[in-house]
Amino acid sequence: MKNRNQYKSKIKEGNRAVTAILYLLAALMAFITVYPMYYVLILSLSEPQYAATMKVYTIPKGFNLGAYEVLVTDTKMWRAYANTFLYVIANTILMVITSTTVAFGLNYKKLIGRKFLTMFLLIPMYFSGGMIPSFLLIVKLGLYDSPLSQIIPAAFSIWNIILVRSYFRSIPDSLSEAAKIDGAGILQILIKIFVPLGKPIFAVIAVYTIVATWNSWFKAMLYLPHTDWQPLQMHLRRILVETTRTVTQAMDPAAAKEAAARELSNAQLQYAMIIFTTLPVLFAYPFFQRYFVKGMVMGSLKE
């Protein structure tokens, strides 16, 4: 890859001015993607009186962690944070297990009924019942208003099954055959050969699941009418999006009182909340991105 690019740069020498413009354009694109988050960060750290004017563009005006001090006393937010952690952990573990077992089955050479099974997996990729029948099903199953509504329906993904399956295909058959001669059963072949060798693809689907679960809110809005088990994103939705309330109404009373005492503006509290809840993702994504790229390239080759 590196060599190829150097090679290419030799044969493509364009006009230097145009090259400079293209480099600047790329920098501009990066600025546009990063600056809004940076603006949110510096405003959340500024002195409340400057933050209230919203005119903090380059570096924080003054330095004040008041908004964060208030946030950490918001018990509702911590509960939502804990819920999200629960969903992320449960969904990631279940997703790896469900994808692996079905992918392993599909990869088993002498599987009876493979054609039927493939159809069974392909149909839901093209057709779905949609929002309402799914909602009615959740109600029927008694999952409505239960944290399990965020876990059980999200425990599998046909897309991930296909991804793992295409990875398993690259593991040589001779390994399983050798294990079989040594007397290994199906379960041992799965655990001793496919699980250790499949680690790279498990990392890919785990990362996809972590990010998707962390950011998911729509299913919670559909299935969780009460705040107790709602994930972080639903708490954020109340604070950032709902127009009829101010932030302090969505926080718990103790935190709201303190926010008022410190004369923190609505926007500053919102921005602090954005930073506080997005920070884990922002720290993790430079490490996560290579898995995303890998998954995406593998997925496209599959098509």
Contacts to another protein from residues 242-301, by CB under 8 A = 243, 267, 270-271, 274, 277-278, 281-282, 284-286, 288-289, 292-293, 296-297, 300
Choose between 185 and 253: whose C-beta lies nearer to another protein: 185
Q: How far is the CB of 255 from another protein (least distance, A)?
A: 18
For residues 7, 10, 12, 14, the Cα torsion angle rounded to the nearest 10 degrees is 150
Q: Determine if 132 is a binding residue for another protein (CB under 8 A).
A: yes
Site track for another protein across 166-205, x = CB under 8 A: -----------x--xx---xxx--x---------------
Choose between 64 and 213: whose C-beta lies nearer to another protein: 213
> Which of residues 42, 86, 151, 155 is near another protein by CB under 8 A?
155
> Which of residues 85, 86, 105, 246 is near another protein by CB under 8 A?
105
> Which of residues 164, 239, 251, 264 is near another protein by CB under 8 A?
239
**C-alpha to C-alpha distances, 128 to 123, 134, 202, 223, nearest whole angstrom:** 8, 9, 26, 18
- The tokens describing 253, both together, are 């009373």
- With a CB cutoff of 8 Å and minimum separation 6, the contacts of 195 are 100
- The tokens describing 185, both together, are 């059963």
Q: Determine if 20 is a binding residue for another protein (CB under 8 A).
A: no
For residues 153 and 91, is the Cβ–Cβ distance under 8 A? no
- With a CB cutoff of 8 Å and minimum separation 6, the contacts of 250 are 76, 235, 238, 239, 242
